[in-house]
Structure 1
């Protein structure tokens, strides 16, 4: 499976420890990592990184603007050769085009593209399928980090352009005014995707430091990095998928969305799972079964409500599935376990 640089995670860890005094070492240790021994050239899967970020997000819920703070401190060093390639472009237009083509080298949990609308251009970030409780944290980090990067590019251009508007793909929070203060423009919530609305003229701005020789060098480095990361890994994909699906309730991602999270095509995704003797549906059923058993044994949640939490619109569908998993109805399972 395709991997991503561990730089963004290490930078996030450092900032969380610095700003919130979190015991980041303990969280990393639960995932078999040690901050002092993380290689700057190391890689990590999106799903593994997401699992770690989920633990961090849980511990800083007291500050709903934490991800905006963290993303706003991302420096050029956290982007590596990817940043140097973009800085060597001849114009903003070329930087946008290459940034989108090589977006796998960014830290984003979003699909990046842009759209021209008359005299404006939308730089769009469409989030991957994320657990509801993580959506705002991840989107805020992506948007704030992207905006900080754009500001650094503007400094190179000698410009101080502000976005005409910023779109966010979740309901308006109580802290909405803080977002307007951050981006110095109207911020619209509840949109389908995150986006910066910019004047179209920005695409024509030249980079004074544009250098075709340097661009060719850094682009070849980026190509080589992508080539190394695209080496297919078959070990424990099913385990990573199970860990990823375990973070969801009610609305589980479809196989196509999971494949995108693991940076694989749906065909590759199915084949790799099959090589491990697994299937997407089998793993999803396993996750649902484990969640159901845990709730039946450790809560008084009704069978109907458990079914809803597992994505079943009707209790009958959940009961039928549970009988297939455990050989008995949920009610009988709860009663027999209690006895």
Structure 2
């Protein structure tokens, strides 16, 4: 089968899942190409994420220059003549479907947290996003939700589309259960991983960090953002590391004591799966996506307000035992539920259908 993945947001979790899919398909001897757009947070060596047999094609995709992007992408697709196009993220989903109008190509579309889930926009903007999705549906495609929450949002907003569930997965071979490796010193290290943006709730993270500024607790944000956002975090005493490689992120997880997610909405965050795989206790905002991974008081702790989040961190400082028990439960769940083997079987079955 000849497969083309199209990815505009070539970074973080979206890049991770796209490369995982492409590498699995390359392993099964499919002809796989990836058309990608480079962004500020795109790794310099994108090819390092993909199997050597995967062909990479850089193509500037932009919703601002949508017409030009459609023409350019359509030209590439005509030359490749794929059996299946798999679009990743909302912008690529729109441009890909417009590019495939009139072409005999099956389309799969993974929004990776569809824009309809956003909590930072009003009703008018959300309505416009829904109209864009409806318009793009003139080219029939199968939506692939990465979590039950995303599947329900898509089904409710676009009742006539075909939407299936394929939960995210993580390459877990680099993670080992070794709690002794985490040194418990005098200073408590609280960590989060991701881009510094409204979706990740960086202002909420700041509010919680400020509450512990005069205490022996350090807050670390592994990721990057614009200068204004980083300045606000630094002023609250949060260390911003910038973007790191996967191995460096894993090292950061193993050196921390607690993972704190203040995200306001998620598709299904790879960062939480990786934190669980590192057997790291988790306190997370009970938003869409987070609730698909964390079961309260079973695999982590969920909060609804800033004060609840602060209280949970305080409780962790006083007694880590119940949090560590949750971390152990989460560790065992992760290696079954989010394994590459499970993901591979479901992905192959999806393409066969």
Q: Answer yes or no: same fold by TM over 0.5.
A: no
The structure that has the greater radius of gyration is 1
TM-score bucket of the superposed structures, by smaller chain: under 0.3
The structure, 1 or 2, with the larger RCO (C-alpha pairs under 8 Å, 6+ apart) is 1
Scaled by the length of structure 1, what TM-score is found?
0.27
